[in-house]
Structure 1
Amino acid sequence: MAGIFVYVIIFLITLVSYRLLRKQKKESHGTSTHQLPPGSTGWPYIGETLQLYSQDPNVFFAAKKKRYGEIFKTHILGCPSVMLASPEAARFVLVTQAHLFKPTYPKSKERLVGPAALFFHQEDYHTRLRKLVQASLSIEAIRNLVPDIDALAASALDSWHGGHVVNTFHEMKKFSFDVGILLIFGRLEARYREELKKNYFIVDKGYNSFPNNIPGTAYKKALLARKRLSKILSDIISERKEKRLLEKDLLGCLLNSKDEKGEVLTDDQIADNIIGALFAAQDTTASVMTWIVKYLHDNPKLLEAVKAEQKAIRRLNEEGNQPLSWSQTRNMPITYKFILETLRMASIISFTFREAVADVEYKGYLIPKGWKVMPLFRNIHHNPEFFTDPQKFDPSRFEVAPKPNTFMPFGSGVHACPGNELANLEMLVVTHHLVSKFRYCFENHICQ
């Protein structure tokens, strides 16, 4: 037993020494031309990860910015990193010099989604896949989905009746998952839909867990569920190929695609991108819709204004026995500004990970090759220079368009979320049903 302990100590010392030598090498390389940004890298190996995750991230980022300015270095999640807290820097990384910064995700997460998924790539493959995803998310395609999304929202919220307690976030995840299935497959057989849902949520649960292969752990269960998802998707793809259907849903776009050499996507590439689309379509949208419920509750006067707008639409539709229409969702100014302010305040995506593919100079500082680079959306959205009294929930601020690159709830550049129009539609439809079917009791719950 003592021998094992000694080996563990030797391993840890070796690991820390390696990290320190690697860090010193990178820093000495950087100072030969430009200096590294100011900041602290914290403790060896663990860096400042504990500080970031043990406190409000707003406090962590704000304190760093106040001390070091709008560009600073840190060390989190085992990686030397540069954080950027200005609109100009975000544009530099995500738009004007995007080719110098590749998307980067932990390998453990890549295994669960699939290495061929759109958001793990750059250049030609990324361009091709993005066009296919955008084709399935065109305005025409989304317009045609309105009746189905309206029906899904009505059904989801009807299940809240009965006086029982519901977990809002979980319910919103179920709804956004069903919308994702609709977008990807169109009409899908119930047996496939239920199997996909069951296994997807196991993968989702393990996505942010500690990655290991020990049987019974959340991550190991997620890996096994991911294999089952591949099998289910393989069966669906085979059926679609046999029927030779030319559907315009995402699966149809992926199946019918050929590159300039006439080559089609493999089944594994299609499966990875379907699962990637589910991840992109589900969690963040569900989070925003949960915050919408909170901010409606917290702002009674704004709630009444949103409710009046939506009840007028509901009365009109009931008189004509009509469902919610696309044109109506495009004419909800009060509700839309409320949603924009929710996106700003909540800032679900606090920052995005990129990795420098070469040594990069920015404003006199060196960003070494291999370092993580993180534009801080949350800091920009909460900067009083761009949003007066940023901690106040005030939808009226969106009566005037924000300054360029100061409001990026869906990211920016070639890797910006291609599903922003669909996400906005989901939020508008859910809010429509939420305020016109329920009354808020202002005691931390919703009444029928």
Structure 2
Amino acid sequence: MGGVFVCVFIFFLTLLTYIFLSRGRREPQRRATLPPGSMGWPYVGETLQLYTQDPSVFFAAKQKRYGEIFKTHILGCPCVMLASPEASRFVLVTEAQLFKPTYPKSKERLIGPSALFFHQGDYHTRLRKLVQGSLSLDTLRNLVKDIDAIAASTLDSWGGGHFVNTFHELKRFSFEVGILAIFGHLDARYSEELKKNYCLVDNGYNSFPTNIPGTPYKKALLARKRLTKILSVIICERKEKKLDDKDLLGCLLNSKDERGETLSEDQIADNIIGVLFAAQDTTASVMTWIVKYLHDNPKLLEVVKAEQKAVRKSNDEGNQPLSWSQTRNMPISYKVVLESLRMASIISFTFREAVADVEYKGYLIPKGWKVMPLFRNIHQNPEFFSDPQRFDPSRFEVAPKPNTFMPFGSGVHACPGNELAKLEMLIMIHHLVTKFRWELVESQSGIQYSPFPVPMYGLPARFWKESTV
């Protein structure tokens, strides 16, 4: 019996020893690694490669070589690029709290540190609700008549066959619509002063940041100070009138937080200028592409003309302004807008910054690294949009797959003014195709970045009113 007991004891001791040793030899957990990619030269990284070619070509080549997640180093920052819908949703929606919006300090100085898109958390939530409220569908419904008048006035000045820089003219149109949405009917003297100084800020926004007198950036800083003073006067006048206006300024002035505190003048000024920045160049860029795409697709242009001429006929041949219901019932033109947003992809990517080490699909995104969802790459991916280089509005007869079409971004930092932008585009299309024929002055098909992609030289063109043909 004693020998059996010893054998059993030795067996269990051996078994326990094997289990213990096996546990000790277990493979250590794989640690996340950085995504594949090249960091380029010290400090400079791959910034020169990015800005000496079409960014679409640069990012597409990277994606082809490394896959849908890759690293690089641009603008002095290590970056992780994301070119899949799932990764974009991860950063912008499902785990948005791990990635804060980020901009270079030089740009923040020009717009103002209190602007909506520089923040996360309660302040961002509060401001976003205010901006969304001032640009809600109910509010836009009441702006149609005024936007229609601005569009008619802007485009009517193009007739006669003289040279027009389409992009510059459409920037003027989108600026005036922005002023309308922010202030309502603003005194002309204030509007002109705002426009003059805003243009200087706009010109310096993407210039080299230096305080040397006479440089575009220094001029922009000085113009920014003047904008603050002008806005202060406008704000004081509005406070004295104690109006309950529903425009953006009214919403900002009448807002109180849970402690009953109102926004400061600096906070209001920063957010007004931020909205102007977000609204003007992007919307004008897309509208410029619409003019080109319609010109380059004559059969489509005729179909759009037929749709819009039917609208014009129902409005006593244009003697009555467009109505809200009419702008909501332009199916062909609306698909032209959507396809233009996809093709042009004005917002090619967006900047976020990891606030902690983040693991995604086995890759490490280190804290402090920039993270850039590449909207343009997704919009140009043949897996989601067949023959993506072909302008085909009919593709939007079927809704795109989720997270594959993000012209206004996604998540809590998506553009709150997207409905206003689309409304502007539809109204512009109506006046363009019912009143004009046009030809492009330059035949080049290139793209320039300023910083948003626009047709080369701003799409110079000549316009003739149909009635004079």
Secondary structure of the residue aligned to 2:364 is: strand
Query: What percent identity do the matched residue pairs reach?
Result: 82
Q: Which residue of 2 aligns with 1:253?
A: 251
Once the 2 structures are TM-superposed, how far is the Cα of residue 232 of structure 1 from its aligned partner?
A: 0.2
Once the 2 structures are TM-superposed, how far is the Cα of residue 443 of structure 1 from its aligned partner?
A: 6.4
Q: 1:138 aligns with which of 136, 139, 143?
A: 136
CA gap 1:192/1:447 in 2 versus in 1, 3 angstroms: closer
Q: Which residue of 1 aligns with 2:313?
A: 315
Contact 1:284 1:348 in 2 (8 A): yes
What whole-Å deviation, never above 9, does each CA across 1:74-124 have from its counterpart, x for those lacking one? 000000000000000000000000000000000000000000000000010
Tell me, in whole angstroms, the C-alpha distance in 1 between the residues paired with 2:165 and 2:334.
24
Once the 2 structures are TM-superposed, how far is the Cα of residue 57 of structure 1 from its aligned partner?
A: 1.3
1:374 maps to 2:372: yes
Tell me, in whole angstroms, the C-alpha distance in 2 between the residues paired with 1:259 and 1:318.
48
In the TM superposition, what are the counterparts of 1:232-381 in structure 2 within 5 Å?
232-318=230-316, 321-381=319-379
Once the 2 structures are TM-superposed, how far is the Cα of residue 447 of structure 1 from its aligned partner?
A: 3.3
Q: Aligned AA for 1:171?
A: E
Contact 1:83 1:375 in 2 (8 A): yes
Once the 2 structures are TM-superposed, how far is the Cα of residue 42 of structure 1 from its aligned partner?
A: 0.4
Q: 1:402 aligns with which of 400, 403, 421?
A: 400
Q: Which residue of 1 aligns with 2:36?
A: 38
Once the 2 structures are TM-superposed, how far is the Cα of residue 440 of structure 1 from its aligned partner?
A: 3.2
Q: Aligned AA for 1:314?
A: R
Q: Which residue of 2 aligns with 1:389?
A: 387
Once the 2 structures are TM-superposed, how far is the Cα of residue 67 of structure 1 from its aligned partner?
A: 0.6
Tell me, in whole angstroms, the C-alpha distance in 1 between the residues paired with 2:216 and 2:30.
45
Tell me, in whole angstroms, the C-alpha distance in 1 between the residues paired with 2:270 and 2:440.
43
Contact 2:162 2:462 in 1 (8 A): no
Contact 2:164 2:462 in 1 (8 A): no
Q: Structure 1 residues 124-133 or 305-314, which shifts more?
A: 305-314
Q: Which residue of 1 aligns with 2:111?
A: 113
Contact 1:438 1:446 in 2 (8 A): no
Once the 2 structures are TM-superposed, how far is the Cα of residue 162 of structure 1 from its aligned partner?
A: 2.7
Once the 2 structures are TM-superposed, how far is the Cα of residue 278 of structure 1 from its aligned partner?
A: 0.6
Tell me, in whole angstroms, the C-alpha distance in 2 between the residues paired with 1:79 and 1:212.
19
* Structure 2 unaligned spans of 5+: 1-28, 443-460, 465-469
Q: Which residue of 1 aligns with 2:463?
A: 447
Tell me, in whole angstroms, the C-alpha distance in 2 between the residues paired with 1:32 and 1:211.
43
Q: Which residue of 2 aligns with 1:5?
A: none
Tell me, in whole angstroms, the C-alpha distance in 1 between the residues paired with 2:392 and 2:179.
34
Tell me, in whole angstroms, the C-alpha distance in 1 between the residues paired with 2:259 and 2:334.
44
Tell me, in whole angstroms, the C-alpha distance in 2 between the residues paired with 1:42 and 1:269.
39
1:54 maps to 2:52: yes
Once the 2 structures are TM-superposed, how far is the Cα of residue 161 of structure 1 from its aligned partner?
A: 1.6
Contact 2:160 2:463 in 1 (8 A): no
Q: Aligned AA for 1:365?
A: Y
Tell me, in whole angstroms, the C-alpha distance in 2 between the residues paired with 1:442 and 1:237.
43
Q: Which residue of 2 aligns with 1:173?
A: 171
Q: Aligned AA for 2:321?
A: P
Once the 2 structures are TM-superposed, how far is the Cα of residue 141 of structure 1 from its aligned partner?
A: 0.4
Once the 2 structures are TM-superposed, how far is the Cα of residue 33 of structure 1 from its aligned partner?
A: 3.0
Contact 1:47 1:76 in 2 (8 A): yes
Q: Aligned AA for 1:60?
A: F
Contact 2:312 2:318 in 1 (8 A): no
Tell me, in whole angstroms, the C-alpha distance in 1 between the residues paired with 2:206 and 2:270.
18
Q: Which residue of 2 aligns with 1:11?
A: none
Tell me, in whole angstroms, the C-alpha distance in 2 between the residues paired with 1:304 and 1:220.
48
Contact 1:337 1:398 in 2 (8 A): yes
Secondary structure of the residue aligned to 1:318 is: coil
Once the 2 structures are TM-superposed, how far is the Cα of residue 252 of structure 1 from its aligned partner?
A: 0.4
What whole-Å deviation, never above 9, does each CA across 1:234-255 have from its counterpart, x for those lacking one? 0000111111111110000000
CA gap 1:102/1:310 in 2 versus in 1, 3 angstroms: same
Q: 2:155 aligns with which of 142, 157, 161?
A: 157
Structure showing greater Rg: 2
Tell me, in whole angstroms, the C-alpha distance in 2 between the residues paired with 1:446 and 1:438.
10
Secondary structure of the residue aligned to 2:198 is: helix
Q: 1:222 aligns with which of 207, 220, 223?
A: 220
Tell me, in whole angstroms, the C-alpha distance in 2 between the residues paired with 1:162 and 1:196.
30
Q: Aligned AA for 1:241?
A: K
* Structure 1 unaligned spans of 5+: 1-30
Tell me, in whole angstroms, the C-alpha distance in 1 between the residues paired with 2:334 and 2:263.
38
Secondary structure of the residue aligned to 1:75 is: strand
Secondary structure of the residue aligned to 2:256 is: coil
Q: Aligned AA for 2:142?
A: N
Q: Alpha carbon RMSD of aligned pairs, Å?
A: 1.2
Q: Which residue of 1 aligns with 2:456?
A: none
Q: Aligned AA for 2:194?
A: L
What TM-score do the two structures reach when normalised by structure 2?
0.88
Tell me, in whole angstroms, the C-alpha distance in 2 between the residues paired with 1:344 and 1:319.
32
Once the 2 structures are TM-superposed, how far is the Cα of residue 58 of structure 1 from its aligned partner?
A: 1.5
What TM-score do the two structures reach when normalised by structure 1?
0.92
Tell me, in whole angstroms, the C-alpha distance in 1 between the residues paired with 2:393 and 2:300.
9
Residue correspondences, number: 418
Contact 1:157 1:433 in 2 (8 A): yes
Q: Aligned AA for 2:386?
A: T
Q: Aligned AA for 2:251?
A: C
Contact 1:336 1:428 in 2 (8 A): yes
Secondary structure of the residue aligned to 1:166 is: strand
Once the 2 structures are TM-superposed, how far is the Cα of residue 446 of structure 1 from its aligned partner?
A: 4.0
Once the 2 structures are TM-superposed, how far is the Cα of residue 34 of structure 1 from its aligned partner?
A: 1.3
Tell me, in whole angstroms, the C-alpha distance in 1 between the residues paired with 2:318 and 2:33.
68
Once the 2 structures are TM-superposed, how far is the Cα of residue 163 of structure 1 from its aligned partner?
A: 2.5
Contact 2:89 2:403 in 1 (8 A): yes
Tell me, in whole angstroms, the C-alpha distance in 2 between the residues paired with 1:170 and 1:195.
18
1:89 maps to 2:87: yes
Tell me, in whole angstroms, the C-alpha distance in 2 between the residues paired with 1:278 and 1:395.
29
Q: Which residue of 2 aligns with 1:25?
A: none
